[in-house]
Structure 1
Amino acid sequence: MGKLSGIKVVDLTQFLPGPMLSLMMADQGASVIKVEPAAGDPARSQAPFENGQSVWFSNLNRGKTSIVLDLKNEAGKNSLRDLIRIADVFLEGFRPGVTARLGFGWDVARALNPRLVYCSISAFGQSGRLAHHPAHDIAVQAMAGFISVNDAGDGSCPVVPGVPAAGVAAGLTGLAAVLMALIGREKSGQGDYLDIAMLDSLLPWSAHIAGGALAGGAAPFSAAQRSLGGAAFYNVYECADGRHIVLGGRELKFATALLTALGRPDLIALAEADAGPAQVPLIDFLRETFRTRSREAWDAFMHTVDVAYAPVLDFAEAFAQPHIAERGLIVEADGRHHIAPAIRFTGEAWFPGPVPALGEA
């Protein structure tokens, strides 16, 4: 049945944040109606494809139903009004003001259904000078300060981030907000309006790296930050075969174990130094050392040492790990591969729901 069985969600969102939010609800039993234009969610056309469906679309929209509505004509508007009347949750991801102009703003929706939890997801929120500024994930990350430290640890030109962190943050934050509002509704009997912004959702993730700037000081520089490249035992190292490993734990016990195993206990004190210039000699030693063996050889060696580390895997290698299979994190259904939800309850089996064709109930 699922923890959210009986909850009805009307989802007008596309691409990533909103579909991710409603996916997590569908995976737990909520009934999610995906409202699409005649052209469908653009994610449907994004390669690669597996068994006739976009892998991206399949992994964000399984377990939902699809309905095509033209919200610019009265028939489509009437159909959406009917859906709102029976919904628990309404999700939209248009630019601020669009749903109001279509006749489905919060005031209208609340009049149709006072118990409705109405969630708007946007890049910069429904208010403020950036509200109408067009942006996808990379632009939001740039405005939040994250791109400035997304370099090689040497102050070089920032690069495109590998993870759509702003979109994912908004999806997770939106889910938490919707569930809070549903719990609150049980007490008040009334719905809520939620203004979820990608920028707002991502900004709290900076507290551990941008504390100085938050307190009114200088902006962080990656090469001087303990978790951004300025610490020897929280860094990326190239191996002899051009592949890489990471050291991922700065605790002194890890530095002591590895440097002793490498015959350089004299460098242990450097691991306790502040991140930045003081650790450069240790970083240089480790760079030279890791270049002497292949990633496979280092992987075997590191298993004999009590140190937090990992080989840098590409996605194909990551998905093929035995641990992934042991945890049941990749599930095949209808000839398609799905990443299992991170939230799975003990004693409750999970299996991916079908991926809806456009307009398929």
Structure 2
Amino acid sequence: MSGIGVLDLSAYIAGPYGCSLLADQGADVIKIEPPGGDNLRAYPSTLERENRAFLGVNRSKRGMVLDLKNDRDRDIMLDLVGHADVLVHNFRPGVAERLGIDHERLTAINPRLIYCVVSGYGEGGPLRAKAGYDQVLQAMTGMCVLQGKPPVPELTYGSPVDYYAAALVAAGVASALYERERSGQGQYVGVSLLRSALAMQSARVVQAEGEAHDIARDMRSGGITGLHPTADGYLYLSANTPRFWTALCKAIGLASLADDPRYDSVRKRAAAAAELVPMLRAVLMRRTALEWEALLEDSVPSSAVRPIEAMFDHPQVVSEDIVGSIAHPTLGSYRGVTRAIKFQRTPGPEPFAAPSLED
């Protein structure tokens, strides 16, 4: 994406990280913040003098502070629009119009502009003006029900809806840029957290004609596949296929189960979880999670449960060059994700730190 100019007016995670994904691929991204900065900068952080989340989702961008309520700053903004390829924002409905940077006005200035809006609920409908956040959409779209154990719902921490929306931002913008090469025209690209939350549950959002609403939609195979306690730590196992089920049975010394017709399918094993899980866990308690991981190796998909800190020096992460050292004006340097996508021939520019507000 070298030569593509992106104006990032978005805040929090979805829009900003979508723009960082574009920056990873060579786009020149300018993060434009109001005088007080992106609200994410003010969120709690254990990192002194900076916000860990802000650094993580705003890498490889230049920075600029503009007060779009100020005529002079708005004129600067409009001048930037005239030379930009992409603009991304997540203002609530009506805000862009009040600031004079709505799609209609900016398209009149630059007909080739890709104008991407990240919203909570979309462009229309009864909730269009409502503020939308990751966990609000988790609660609304059934994710909390399926993540929890009825009747107690549970949130999934780590902002999965935001990050999925970020990927949709990058994909949508890239597709619109590709189409522009043919038509010569820009267009509006809409990404909503509602659409994101439902799209990432596409395997659940299927209702056959005449089918009842209140049926099980949880895809978890249950029982064997899941987290299990060991002598030290927890181990995740996935043994859904005949191959992996057979390999697991042999590895834990229960080879006879592999040929037992009562357990020869995922559905049968899920139905027999009350019988199988105690047998499995009794064996797993003989070793630690790390020992089982090493023993199972590539015969059964598995992993010891680790904290995120273990990833900084994990040999696979190091080998793939996913995390690297990034220079920073106040921190000296920090280690963080460098690129989310690996391109063999055009790897993209070296990543650099998120802009400070003073930049």
Q: Could you tell me the TM-score, scaled by structure 2's length?
A: 0.89
Tell me the CA shift for residue 161 of structure 1: 0.5
Alignment of 1:356 onto 2:347: no
Aligned equivalent of 1:262: 252
Q: Matches of 2:183 and 2:8 in 1, distance apart?
A: 24
Alignment of 1:197 onto 2:183: no
Q: Matches of 2:135 and 2:307 in 1, distance apart?
A: 22
**SS at structure 1 position matched to 2:101:** coil
1:158 counterpart (147, 153, 178): 153
After superposing the two structures, state which structure 1 stretch, 15-24 or 37-46, moved more.
37-46
Aligned equivalent of 1:244: 234
Residues 128 and 214 of structure 1, relative CA distance in 2, 3 Å threshold? farther
Alignment of 1:253 onto 2:252: no
Tell me the CA shift for residue 297 of structure 1: 2.8
Aligned equivalent of 2:125: 128
Aligned equivalent of 2:27: 30
Residues 101-116 of structure 1: pairs in structure 2 closer than 5 A: 101-116=98-113
Tell me the CA shift for residue 212 of structure 1: 5.2
Letter in 2 for 1:285: M
Tell me the CA shift for residue 255 of structure 1: 0.9
Task: Supply the RMSD in Å over aligned alpha carbons.
Answer: 2.3
Q: Matches of 1:215 and 1:310 in 2, distance apart?
A: 41
Aligned equivalent of 1:286: 280
**SS at structure 2 position matched to 1:172:** helix
Aligned equivalent of 1:143: 140
Alignment of 1:298 onto 2:292: yes
Q: Is there any run of 5+ residues in structure 2 with no aligned partner, and where?
A: 328-332
Tell me the CA shift for residue 248 of structure 1: 2.1
Q: Deviations over 1:256-283 (max 9, x none)?
A: 1211333323433425141643333222
Residues 11 and 215 of structure 1, relative CA distance in 2, 3 Å threshold? farther
Q: Matches of 2:283 and 2:150 in 1, distance apart?
A: 24
Q: Matches of 1:216 and 1:77 in 2, distance apart?
A: 53
Q: Matches of 1:120 and 1:107 in 2, distance apart?
A: 13
CA contact (8 A) 1:149 1:220 kept: no
CA contact (8 A) 1:71 1:102 kept: yes
Residues 317 and 212 of structure 1, relative CA distance in 2, 3 Å threshold? farther
**SS at structure 2 position matched to 1:310:** strand
After superposing the two structures, state which structure 1 stretch, 306-315 or 266-275, moved more.
266-275
Tell me the CA shift for residue 181 of structure 1: 0.8
1:325 counterpart (318, 341, 350): 318
**SS at structure 2 position matched to 1:346:** coil
Alignment of 1:75 onto 2:69: no
Residues 49 and 21 of structure 1, relative CA distance in 2, 3 Å threshold? same
Q: Deviations over 1:137-177 (max 9, x none)?
A: 011122222111102xx535222203311111111111111
Q: Matches of 1:326 and 1:295 in 2, distance apart?
A: 23
Residues 31 and 118 of structure 1, relative CA distance in 2, 3 Å threshold? same
Q: Matches of 1:215 and 1:246 in 2, distance apart?
A: 37
Report the identity percentage.
30
Q: Matches of 1:231 and 1:79 in 2, distance apart?
A: 57
1:308 counterpart (301, 308, 312): 301
Tell me the CA shift for residue 30 of structure 1: 1.2
**SS at structure 2 position matched to 1:53:** coil
Tell me the CA shift for residue 184 of structure 1: 1.0
**SS at structure 2 position matched to 1:10:** strand
> How many matched pairs?
348
Q: Matches of 2:208 and 2:310 in 1, distance apart?
A: 38
Letter in 2 for 1:338: G
Aligned equivalent of 2:330: none
Q: Is there any run of 5+ residues in structure 1 with no aligned partner, and where?
A: none
**SS at structure 2 position matched to 1:313:** coil
Residues 201 and 348 of structure 1, relative CA distance in 2, 3 Å threshold? same
Letter in 2 for 1:313: R
CA contact (8 A) 1:119 1:196 kept: yes
Letter in 2 for 1:208: A
Q: Matches of 2:150 and 2:73 in 1, distance apart?
A: 52
Alignment of 1:89 onto 2:86: yes
CA contact (8 A) 2:198 2:205 kept: no
Aligned equivalent of 1:231: 222
CA contact (8 A) 2:223 2:270 kept: no
Q: Deviations over 1:273-326 (max 9, x none)?
A: 4164333322232233323332233223323x7211111111112332111111
Q: Matches of 2:12 and 2:40 in 1, distance apart?
A: 6
2:166 counterpart (157, 171, 196): 171
**SS at structure 2 position matched to 1:325:** helix
After superposing the two structures, state which structure 1 stretch, 106-115 or 140-149, moved more.
140-149
Alignment of 1:336 onto 2:327: no
After superposing the two structures, state which structure 1 stretch, 274-283 or 231-240, moved more.
274-283
Tell me the CA shift for residue 179 of structure 1: 0.9
